[in-house]
Amino acid sequence: MSGLEVLTQIVFPVVIGAGILLCLLRMLGGPTTVDRAVAVDTTTTVTVALLVLLGFVFQRYVYLDVALVYAVLTFIGAVAIARYLEGGL
């Protein structure tokens, strides 16, 4: 197993999984609603990174398309949540 294979198949998923776990802990234990909203947005960003990594490892570029659509939709959702929390319509 080469160094790149170890990196993409073992190290990156562990780091991404730890990032998702930390974001979920912040989402559940965040003291304010804004902290929870930022944790959800960060979780989706890390998930997009995971999808891109899966596309690279499996050489299936449909994962990149899914990651792009998911990123755009979560951006729109984050803007909507931010406007709601700010008090706008």
Amino acid 89: pLDDT: 61
Instruction: Give CA–CA dist 37/40, Å, rounded.
Output: 5
Chain segment 13-58, per-residue pLDDT in tens:
888 889 989 999 999 988 888 888 889 999 999 999 888 988 888 8
Rounded mean pLDDT of 68-89? Answer: 88
- Rounded to whole angstroms, the Cα distance separating 82 from 26 reads 18
